[in-house]
Structure 1
Amino acid sequence: MSTTMNKITRDSLMTLEAYAKARPEFRKQVLEHKKLRTVAVGNHVTLIFEDELTVRYQIQEMLRIEKTFEERGILDELEAYNPLVPDGRNFKATMMIEYPEVAERKEALQRLKGIEHKVWVQVEGSPKVYAIADEDLERSNDTKTSAVHFMRFELTDEMAAALKYGVTLSVGVDHPMYSQAVSPLPIEVRNALVKDLA
């Protein structure tokens, strides 16, 4: 199984001009697509399961915001974001810890230290698979966690086969200060995520 399955290439990106024209429609399409890939785990943790389309949108947006049209800059963005595309045997997600008040958020990020290692997915009939978090760079320190984490959930061939067969999928967090689960995921969300498996 090649890990280059869904990698986004330089040639497949739109130029800044082309993207400016296509953006309103593309953005609408991506926001609609993300609805079935977004899971609120309790009131303060949201997981957005990334795929080729969501990552492509991120890259195009970064290039637009930074007005990047030079080859090196474009390749840097591809290098930064391509690892977020699932490779056929995993789910990849952006986790956001959300508290509206600044003081409350600061206190929560201290209390939830290590939460990024306590996020899991579970295929019905199989053990929990815990996230491998922040492989690109360390986002937490000795006193607090970060509000944003990138995570990968590695599935076995058996888990992938079971999901394709139709078993349920659950997602949760079992940090001592934040224990929540969505079990099972709504069928339409589960079906959207199963498409990430080769």
Structure 2
Amino acid sequence: MQLTGHITPESLMTLEAYTKWRKAHKPEIVAHRKLRSVMLGEYIHLQFESETTIRYQIQEMLRIEKVFEEEGIQQEIEAYAPLVPDGSNWKGTMMLEYTDVNERKRELARLIGVEDSMFVEVEGMARVYAIADEDLDRENEEKTSAVHFVRFEFTPAMRAAIQAGAAVKLGCDHTNYPAHVQIAPETLASLAGDFSQRTD
């Protein structure tokens, strides 16, 4: 999978080429996704995206839906490409993972606004709160969604500190879901790489 810093139809594989590539490389993608995955408490799962995870997502959608026409390919790129970090931020898919249907319904009603309560805290610096669901609103007056898209925007000083090895926490200060977790060093190393990938 060729990383170019900018996802275009020309930089994607054909369905045939991708099917072959996928057989050989799927374990690598699974490992990369796992590396960039953080559990916050028991139910919030944050998948930090990268060009690799988003290219894979687009290729998978094209494969599953058997899309090979230019217009369809462009639509998939437009849907997912905004989730690739662009040099000053981390972007992620936030999932509220309640397996029991009744519990999920109850908790989504209690957790309205949870996506705006997510934060990243670089050691010794102010919290950076998530900018959530920029494409469309995913909650209403009765409940929040089980899936949100979030962006954490960092100052140059924060980015430098992260790249220099500062400790970083992921947290949530929602009244009904107070939690924080230290991001593992190996995950942080992968995330620190997002800052050098400019796609101007």
TM superposition score normalised by structure 2: 0.94
> 1:148-195 CA distances to partner (integer Å, 9 max, x unpaired)?
00010000011001111111111011100001100x211111111101
Per the TM alignment, residue 23 of structure 1 is displaced from its structure 2 partner at its CA by 1.2
Unaligned runs of 5+ in 2: none
1:188 paired to 2:186? yes
> 1:90-140 CA distances to partner (integer Å, 9 max, x unpaired)?
000000001110011011100101101000111111111010001111111
Aligned residue in 2 for 1:46: 45
Per the TM alignment, residue 26 of structure 1 is displaced from its structure 2 partner at its CA by 2.7
Per the TM alignment, residue 42 of structure 1 is displaced from its structure 2 partner at its CA by 0.3
Aligned residue in 2 for 1:146: 145
1:125 paired to 2:128? no
Would the aligned equivalents of 1:7 and 1:85 in 2 still touch at CA under 8 Å?
A: no
Unaligned runs of 5+ in 1: none
2: CA distance, partners of 1:124 / 1:168: 5
Per the TM alignment, residue 24 of structure 1 is displaced from its structure 2 partner at its CA by 2.1
Aligned residue in 1 for 2:14: 15
Identity of aligned residues (%): 54
Per the TM alignment, residue 25 of structure 1 is displaced from its structure 2 partner at its CA by 2.4
* DSSP-derived class of the 1:22 partner: helix
- Tell me the amino acid that sits aligned with residue 24 of structure 2: E
- Tell me the amino acid that sits aligned with residue 115 of structure 1: V
- Tell me the amino acid that sits aligned with residue 45 of structure 1: I
1:93 paired to 2:92? yes
- Tell me the amino acid that sits aligned with residue 173 of structure 1: C
Q: Kindly report the root-mean-square deviation, in angstroms, between the aligned alpha carbons of the 2 structures.
A: 1.0
Question: Aligned residue pairs: how many?
Answer: 193
Which one of the candidate residues 187, 194, 197 is aligned to 2:195? Answer: 197
1: CA distance, partners of 2:24 / 2:144: 36
